[in-house]
Chain A
């Protein structure tokens, strides 16, 4: 008893000490004006940087005004416009009937591209959503991840013209409630559960329990589990069609220069695995601020370094029958391209080839030509966001800058 009491008093004392210590720190920080979310960790030489974010053209670009002839794909492949007039087209999900659902991040809608006897029609099926970036379909039910909750819309195909109010699957998934990495990506696992990210609140900061992590939720019970930590922000996830392992992209921090750290392609091999943020980047670079509190040896390195500031978004495994056999189970990855680099790179779709053991053996461009001048502002005329394989084996690519969905097909 006495022993317990002394432990309690020690804990109380440490708590009081910690509290006063934190208060003193908070006051000191307040006096020094903490920088805004995106600017955390900026270096003195970057203070005068003129790098700025890009924005989608919300009024869109019509198919006939796109510079399609600039796009390049390997021999035998062809790119065409699948649909235009979808402002800020982001993530995609496909119903069993082949209806393509498309989401928004900064705008507030969810769209459906419906195939009416070969003629495509774009419908706005949901409006006024709160950053509905993440969408997934399980057994005819559409799940939409807003910034703060996940909603379900049953039997979506039948209700495209009159969607009922969504039912809440899980709420309270916006622990940051402010600027930062607030949007979600959502994928369905073969276990019938939904997988999503909660990003780090700022560029570089110490996250709380719910931040900089990947979660899974059972859509029936709403039971949520944290399955990966130390993930700054993952906005692209897919399950390997054979091994069923979760592959995910991760955006690395800004303001460490043009060439480091690399964005990452990661694989989750066990639940609860840690991927390093904020202590370690790209598996081998200690963070200039937080690195001293941990070591890279304690986290899982990426299976592939993707390049600095390339901004990898949607990934999918190629499971269709149209492309040549060597494309089977390859990863296609949309790279949005980052604003935080003096010489721009990305703005393409990459192909990642894995061997039988899941090791990366090839990382090469698949769709390029959006980036027209790496030094210009803006450097690009389009920005890929997500890739999706549809029933005929062709692949769709969203471009949020122009509000367009492209289709890439193959014929000998």
Chain B
């Protein structure tokens, strides 16, 4: 379990970064056009400077509540960005950023983050999670869609080595059906999880390398 002081620290940091980022966002949008060709990693990298103040250098998040994007599948990123922009998935910090992105921006950002190497944040799974996690991941079909190593594929995100607090919040949200779920598959899968199993799964998956 994370301490509450850690959480508070993270929240403050998010707000500070947000202020800096909003400035950057308006500052850069004047200079960066939206390329009309298929995904452009270099253009994505430039646009991504804004994202990194929260999502970490090259998209390797250093904040427990904020997901890492480095090494994420490109389609998982564009899918999330699209649903944030359209107001389907909502987050007070993320939604305003997505609101101004064109489809081309999203494709470029996704191509860039997908091309970066994931360096998972330090996290050590508990002995209980290491013992029960693999079986639970099979029992509840995590591996069926997210892949044997939970590295994701197509629109299904990589969850291996993802930030712990973020994973925990998503799983709880899916179970409570408060987390946006475009096709119902995650809500359906999470509806079966017991509260302690959510804890174990998040603990196990965050520690995967």
Contacts and interface: CB of A to CB of B under 8 A. Distances in A.
Interface of A: 33, 35-39, 48-55, 57-60, 62, 65, 85, 87, 106-109, 127-128, 178-180, 182, 377-378
B88 interface: yes
Nearest to B78: A59
Interface of B: 36, 38, 75, 78-79, 81-83, 86-88, 103-104, 106-107, 110, 138, 141, 143-145, 147-148, 153-156, 182-185, 187-189, 191-192
Contacts of B81: 59
A55 B155 contact: yes
A33 B192 contact: yes
B141 A39 contact: yes
Contacts of B185: 38, 53, 179
A276 to B, nearest CB: 25
A377 to B, nearest CB: 7
B82 A35 contact: no
Contact of A38 (B36, B75, B148, B188): B188
Contacts of B189: 36
A378 B154 contact: yes
B187 A58 contact: no
Contacts of A37: 184, 188
B144 A53 contact: no
A87 B106 CA distance: 13
Nearest to A377: B153
Nearest to B186: A179
A178 B182 contact: no
A58 B148 contact: no
Contacts of B103: 59-60, 85, 87
15 contacts: A39-B141, A51-B144, A53-B185, A54-B154, A55-B75, A55-B182, A59-B104, A59-B106, A62-B38, A85-B103, A106-B182, A108-B86, A108-B88, A182-B184, A378-B154
A180 B184 contact: yes
B36 to A, nearest CB: 7
Contacts of A108: 86, 88
Contact of B145 (A48, A52, A87, A178): A52
B188 A52 contact: no
Contacts of B143: 50
Given A107-B83, A178-B184, A178-B188, 10 more contacts: A37-B184, A50-B147, A52-B145, A57-B75, A85-B103, A106-B183, A107-B86, A127-B86, A182-B184, A377-B153
B144 A52 contact: yes
B79 A53 contact: no
B38 A65 contact: yes
A55 B183 contact: yes
Contacts of B147: 50
Contacts of A50: 143-144, 147-148
Contact of A36 (B78, B82, B188): B188
A62 B102 CA distance: 13
Given A57-B75, A106-B182, A179-B187, A36 B88 contact: no
B78 A58 contact: yes
Contacts of A378: 154
B18 to A, nearest CB: 24
Contacts of A179: 183-185, 187-188
A44 to B, nearest CB: 13
B178 to A, nearest CB: 14
Given A106-B182, A378-B154, A36 B106 contact: no
Nearest to A180: B184
Nearest to A128: B87
B89 to A, nearest CB: 11
B200 to A, nearest CB: 16
Contacts of A48: 138
Which of the listed residues A55, A106, A378 has the most CB atoms from chain B within 10 Å of its own CB?
Answer: A55
A70 to B, nearest CB: 16
Please provide the 7 A-B residue pairs with the shortest distance between their CB atoms, ordered closest to farther: A179-B184, A55-B155, A36-B188, A58-B82, A59-B103, A179-B188, A52-B145
